[in-house]
Amino acid sequence: MRIILGSIVMIAGIGGLTLWGATERGPGVEDQIRVAAEAATRGAVHSIKAIVSGRDITLTGIADTEEELATIVAALDKVEGHRGINFDTVDVIPVADPYSTALAKAGDGSLNVSGFIPNAAAAATLEQAGVVGATDLPLASGAPDQWEAAFTAGADALASLDHGNFALTSTKAMLSGVALSAQRAEAARSALANMPSGYETVTEIEVNDPGVVTFELRYDPVTGLDLDGSIPETLGPDGIAAAMGLPAPSGEIVTTDAAMEGLGDMLTELSAVLPDLNGLTLRVEDGQVAEATAQVLPGLDIALVGSVLSEALGRISVDFTDPVIDAEPGTTRQNIATGETEVLHEGHWLVKPDFDVAGAVCTERAQDLQEERRIGFLTGSAELDKPSLAVINDLAGLVLHCTQAYGMRVTIGGHTDSDGDENENFALSVARANAVRNALAARGISPQKMVAIGYGETEPIASNDTEEGRAANRRTTFDWQG
């Protein structure tokens, strides 16, 4: 009886230990196996994941080679406590021999790639750099050492060419294509020289350099720059656009190692007169300005604009043609030189303000417009000086905007300093106010919306004892009622 009872107690004890081991020790062993398995797969070239269930290990993902997979399995086989390893679901990528990848650049700058890629990270990097199809390339092992550095050097070299091809076959790098100047060809060769040690390079670069600066530049206030011909490599199309304060030009452009002295400075000076132009054509031959044709905006003085334009272009003669305005009245456009929205009104392109009309706001805006460029007159006369015509053009858009609302009218005030006879100053101020009113009416502003009043010397804003004060007092004011 005692023997039977003892056996029962012993069996119960063994069962309890087994249950304790399963509930208390089991999860701990599984966690240890999982940590060890993750460490064994962490250095894989591609993504290999170890799934641990109980004491069994299952591998999934992509192995770079059979050797890499065998190394991982051998490491897992040493994990203490594991029971079995299943790696049937791991795909081993093929070996490429020779290992070849090619990059093609079209004339529009687009890039296309073909061949093999060593891993997903390299494919993503190429795709982000604008290489179309990089992430669709098949994975293959067998890439030579420092493959990514070699391919990057080739891609950098190809970037200096207008169009061409770069092919990396094992450790042989081949670059061919067309460079638009000797400088760009040299830049391509210099980039290719960054190949890692052990790589062989072959280059076939054709230089398409006309050797002379010859181009035609066309400016339009809506479409911007259009450029055809050969320009200095040192400036390039972006440099020309930057000098003129405009977006990059369109057109058929090549660069040359030839120089044109002072071209950048000339274009920078030219940018100052662009707001006064409705079009410009500039022809350069053999590094010299050969011809210039321009259209001056209606309402401006052609002689004044022409003198500024001629000075900017090296004092050459400029031919002027009538502005071509092929648009219906009320048409709006964005002036690319000024950034302003303009509306066609009575044959004039007037700036179209963007604010709600209110008397005080309109008065303030008129003052702001005259902060840097004031309306001026010939000495002792009611004749507007030539620079004032551009100011009148700007003010016409504001007056049109502010008088369109019901009941809104503007009072144009003429003011003089205290020099001379008081009565003569009063008469001069009336004449000058009317001259401004007439100039605005010529730009399509309704005369019924404008009142001209002369104040003479009665409303000074500065002391008449200094020249600066007297200049400040000689002014034209705009006040809105309604």
Closest CA to 415 of 375, 450, 451, 447: 375
Question: Do 313 and 393 belong to one domain?
Answer: no
**Would you say residue 14 lies in a domain?**
no
Residues 6+ apart with CB under 8 A from 99: 116, 140, 142, 143, 144, 147, 169, 170
The CATH number for 146's domain is 3.40.1520.20
Lowest mean pLDDT among 8-12, 88-92, 197-201, 285-289: 8-12
Domain enclosing residue 366, as ranges: 353-481
Tokens of 419: 């020099």
**Would you say residue 154 lies in a domain?**
yes
With bands split at pLDDT 50, 70 and 90, how would you rate the model's confidence at 27? low
Average pLDDT, stretch 248-258?
92
Question: Do 458 and 370 belong to one domain?
Answer: yes
Give the pLDDT score at 443.
Answer: 92
Q: How many folded domains does the chain comprise?
A: 4
Q: Which helix (H) or strand (E) holds 180?
A: none
Where among 92, 113, 147 does a domain terminate? Answer: 92
Average pLDDT, stretch 81-97?
91
Average pLDDT, stretch 308-324?
90
Q: Write out pLDDT tens, residues 234-244.
A: 999 999 999 99
List phi, psi (to 5°) of 90. -85, 130
Q: Write out pLDDT tens, residues 335-359.
A: 999 999 999 999 999 999 999 999 9
**For every residue of 133-163, which 3-state class applies, written as one string?**
CHHHCCECECCCCCHHHHHHHHHHHHHCCCE
Closest CA to 221 of 247, 202, 258: 247
**Would you say residue 182 lies in a domain?**
yes
Q: pTM higher than 0.85, yes or no? A: no
Question: Do 146 and 242 belong to one domain?
Answer: no
Question: Do 219 and 310 belong to one domain?
Answer: yes
Which of helix, strand or coil describes residue 24? helix
Query: Mean of the per-residue pLDDT values for the chain?
Result: 90
Average pLDDT, stretch 451-477?
95
pLDDT at 472 over 60: yes
Where among 302, 320, 338 does a domain terminate? Answer: 320
Query: By the 8 A CB rule, do 451 and 389 touch?
Result: no
With bands split at pLDDT 50, 70 and 90, how would you rate the model's confidence at 482? low
pLDDT at 44 over 50: yes
Which of helix, strand or coil describes residue 335? coil
**Would you say residue 286 lies in a domain?**
yes
pLDDT at 8 over 80: no
Between CA 397 and CA 376 the distance in angstroms is 19
The CATH number for 26's domain is 3.30.1340
Where among 320, 335, 366 does a domain terminate? Answer: 320
**Would you say residue 339 lies in a domain?**
no
Question: Do 452 and 357 belong to one domain?
Answer: yes
The CATH number for 270's domain is 3.40.1520
Q: Write out pLDDT tens, residues 166-206.
A: 999 999 999 999 998 888 999 999 999 999 999 999 999 99
Tokens of 3: 């023997």
Give the pLDDT score at 11.
Answer: 39
Helices (H), 245-369: 263-271, 302-312, 359-369
The better pLDDT of the pair 424, 208 is held by: 424
Between CA 270 and CA 313 the distance in angstroms is 7
Question: Do 357 and 447 belong to one domain?
Answer: yes
Q: Write out pLDDT tens, residues 218-233.
A: 999 999 999 999 999 9
List phi, psi (to 5°) of 31. -65, -40
With bands split at pLDDT 50, 70 and 90, how would you rate the model's confidence at 20? very low
Question: Do 291 and 235 belong to one domain?
Answer: yes
Question: Do 143 and 235 belong to one domain?
Answer: no
